[in-house]
């Protein structure tokens, strides 16, 4: 199975590293516009093969899309990341043009690929990719909810003083500092509701930390995060390529689901070899439905800014 990652920067290269280390795909192509950059990242990753023990072939390309031909999955991580103090939404001006041209280029060589959109503002870039390419909705998947959910479980694990892997939880809604919805009511510690162990005040603190999880890291690192984002993309790609049918919150095009239409936003999906195979209705309560509607309004407003590219 072949995966192309366009944008060999922090997130793209980390994703290639995790995919090869875990043997998720037999071939990974990294592509970037910076001369020699993707080739260098690929060579560096390949030089781990004997010490970490993998057989995935990783290669790099400077803007030569012919090398990406026949990819099963294409990940778009090209574009600029935010700097401390910025929102993801402020990236739209530069990233919209990049994402649209990249989507056109990859499809010309891999007409059957499933596209995973990572560049920010991710929900808007996913909507742009879907509309610009005309692909069916199952083949355009925005990655944000997998990462936000892993951060939610991290903050829950810190509050509970228990391992993250014993915690279940999901974040839906937009992938933005104010639009994310950590589903605290449905989160559990090995099946017991987390509200059995944490006060309302502690749970609200966990939710607030989760929502600004990306901004916190951007403040600490000077650019946005990459280890957890890259690993989250690899996790999603694994479910597609290996037809795992995991339930992962992803940004997908809604046509009535969760009361929304003509928008890409995070909801729980079954992810398998056909991409989005099902959108799961987790039965939100009235308060959660109101938060989702508010989040959708904000995400929809951003889509209006795509007029110049669509
Ligand atoms: N959806 C999510 O959960 C997350 C999204 N992101 C987003 O992912 C994007 C990438 O972030 P980083 O890897 O940290 O940035 P980075 O700056 O390290 O890497 C971006 C790469 O894209 C390349 N690039 C730019 N235009 C290109 C084009 N037209 N064709 C091919 N390559 C091109 C650049 O040369 C650069 O190497 C950002 O927009 C960031 O906001 C980052 C983390 C999580
Ligand atoms: O915070 C950012 O800008 C990058 C991102 O989407 C994340 O790490 O969640």
Q: Which of 11, 121, 229 to mutate to test the pocket of ligand 2 (most atoms within 8 A of CB)?
A: 229
| Residue 310 confidence (pLDDT) above 90 | no
In the listed set 103, 128, 143, which residue is the last one of a domain according to the structure?
A: 143
Sign of CA dihedral 192, 197, 203, 207: negative
Same-domain status, 246 and 115: no
Q: Which of 16, 78, 106 to mutate to test the pocket of ligand 1 (most atoms within 8 A of CB)?
A: 78
Q: Would the CB of 151 count as within 6 Å of ligand 2?
A: no
Same-domain status, 184 and 153: yes
Number of domains in the chain: 2
Same-domain status, 32 and 109: yes
- pLDDT category, 107, cuts 50, 70, 90? very high
Whether residue 171 lies inside any domain: the answer is yes
Same-domain status, 298 and 160: yes
Whether residue 310 lies inside any domain: the answer is no
Same-domain status, 178 and 258: yes
Same-domain status, 13 and 126: yes
- CA atoms of 116 and 129, how far apart (whole Å): 10
Nearest CA to ligand 1 atom 40: 81
Burial (CB count <10 Å: 0-12, 13-18, 19+), residue 242: middle
Whether residue 42 lies inside any domain: the answer is yes
| Residue 174 confidence (pLDDT) above 90 | yes
Q: What is the DSSP letter of 56?
A: -
Single out the residue of 153, 179, 177 nearest to residue 164, CA to CA. Answer: 153
Same-domain status, 9 and 125: yes
Whether residue 309 lies inside any domain: the answer is no
Whether residue 214 lies inside any domain: the answer is yes
| Residue 173 confidence (pLDDT) above 90 | yes
Please state the rounded mean pLDDT for residues 193-212. Answer: 98
- pLDDT category, 171, cuts 50, 70, 90? very high
Same-domain status, 188 and 103: no
Percent of the chain with pLDDT strictly greater than 70:
100
Same-domain status, 134 and 216: no
Convert the pLDDT of each residue in 218-253 to its tens digit: 999 999 999 999 999 999 999 999 999 999 999 999
- Amino acid 55: pLDDT: 96
Convert the pLDDT of each residue in 59-73 to its tens digit: 999 999 999 999 999
Please state the rounded mean pLDDT for residues 250-279. Answer: 98
- pLDDT category, 268, cuts 50, 70, 90? very high
Nearest CA to ligand 1 atom 14: 10
Whether residue 19 lies inside any domain: the answer is yes
In the listed set 97, 114, 143, which residue is the last one of a domain according to the structure?
A: 143
Instruction: Give how far Cα 44 sits from Cα of 11, 29, 76, 208, Å.
Output: 15, 13, 21, 38
In the listed set 143, 165, 184, which residue is the last one of a domain according to the structure?
A: 143
| Structure token pair of residue 16 | 């290639």
Please state the rounded mean pLDDT for residues 85-114. Answer: 97
Ramachandran region of residue 267, left (φ > 0), alpha (ψ -120 to 50) or beta?
beta
Distance 159 CA to ligand 1 centre (A): 32
Per the structure, the complete domain to which residue 189 belongs is given by 145-304
Question: Where residue 92 sits, what CATH number does that domain have?
Answer: 3.40.50.720
Same-domain status, 138 and 181: no
Question: Where residue 192 sits, what CATH number does that domain have?
Answer: 3.90.110.10
Q: Would the CB of 175 count as within 6 Å of ligand 1?
A: yes
């Amino acid at each position: 199975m072949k995966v192309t990652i366009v944008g060999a920067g922090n997130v793209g290269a980390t994703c290639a590293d995790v995919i090869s280390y875990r043997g998720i795909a037999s071939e990974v192509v990294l592509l970037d516009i910076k001369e020699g950059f993707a080739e260098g990242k690929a060579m560096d990753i390949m030089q781990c093969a004997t010490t970490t023990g993998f057989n995935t072939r990783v290669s790099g390309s400077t803007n030569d899309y012919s090398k990406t031909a026949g990819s099963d999955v294409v990940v778009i991580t090209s574009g600029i990341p935010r700097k401390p103090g910025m929102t993801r939404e402020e990236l739209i001006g530069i990233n919209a043009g990049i994402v649209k041209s990249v989507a056109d280029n990859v499809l010309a060589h891999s007409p059957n690929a499933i596209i995973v959109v990572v560049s920010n503002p991710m929900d808007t870039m996913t909507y742009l990719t879907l509309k610009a390419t005309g692909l069916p909705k199952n083949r355009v998947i925005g990655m944000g909810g997998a990462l936000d959910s892993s951060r939610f479980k991290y903050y829950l694990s810190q509050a509970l003083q228990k391992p993250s892997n014993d915690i279940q939880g999901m974040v839906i809604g937009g992938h933005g500092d104010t639009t994310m919805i950590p589903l605290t009511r449905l989160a559990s510690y090995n099946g017991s509701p987390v509200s059995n162990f944490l006060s309302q005040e502690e749970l609200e603190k966990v939710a607030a930390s989760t929502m600004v999880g990306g901004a916190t890291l951007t403040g600490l690192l000077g650019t946005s995060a990459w280890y957890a984002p890259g690993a989250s993309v690899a996790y999603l790609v694994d479910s597609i390529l290996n037809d795992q049918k995991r339930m992962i919150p992803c940004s997908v095009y809604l046509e009535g689901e969760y009361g929304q239409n003509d928008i890409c936003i995070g909801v729980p999906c079954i992810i398998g070899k056909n991409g989005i195979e099902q959108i799961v209705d987790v039965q939100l309560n009235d308060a959660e439905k109101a938060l989702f509607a508010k989040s959708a309004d904000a995400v929809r407003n951003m889509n209006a800014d795509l007029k110049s590219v669509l």
